[in-house]
Amino acid sequence: MAYLLLKALISGIIVAIVSEISKRYPGAGALVASLPLVSVLGMIWLWRDKPDVQNMAEHSSATFWYVLPSLPMFLFIPALLKQGWPFWLALSAGCILTVALYLLMSWIGPRFGLRL
């Protein structure tokens, strides 16, 4: 249980740091947010819990393919905001788009031999 709390605490601290940096320096906050910190931490936690090379390789590869459908959200939300959409509606629309693209990737990926 202490290990789970430690993982949650470290992950939460990273999110808080990104938020605080972004308040003063939006570009720097975006840079930190774009770093694959969550993915790297996830791989560290996974390796500590299950040091299996094949499992880690599959996890890392699937992470790459699942990052791709999330990227359009970061162009879609600002486009909606610039058109006057309220923040929460733009964020919701961006999340819905991302979920739809994840589902599409999950459906299409295996047809091209991707193990997701």
Give the Cβ contact number of residue 83 at 10 Å. Answer: 8
Range of the domain at 91: 53-116
Where b means 16+ CB within 10 Å and e means fewer, 47-70 reads: eeeeeeeeeeeebeeeeebbeebb
Residue 41: band (very low, low, confident or very high) from pLDDT cuts 50, 70, 90: confident
Q: Is 14 left (phi over 0), alpha (psi -120 to 50) or beta?
A: alpha
For residues 44 and 61, membership in a common domain is answered with no
Give the Cβ contact number of residue 45 at 10 Å. Answer: 16
For residues 34 and 64, membership in a common domain is answered with no
| Domains contained in the chain, number | 2
For residues 71 and 89, membership in a common domain is answered with yes
- Average pLDDT (41-58) is 94
For residues 47 and 57, membership in a common domain is answered with no
Whole-model pTM?
A: 0.78
Is the model's pLDDT at 115 over the cut of 90?
no
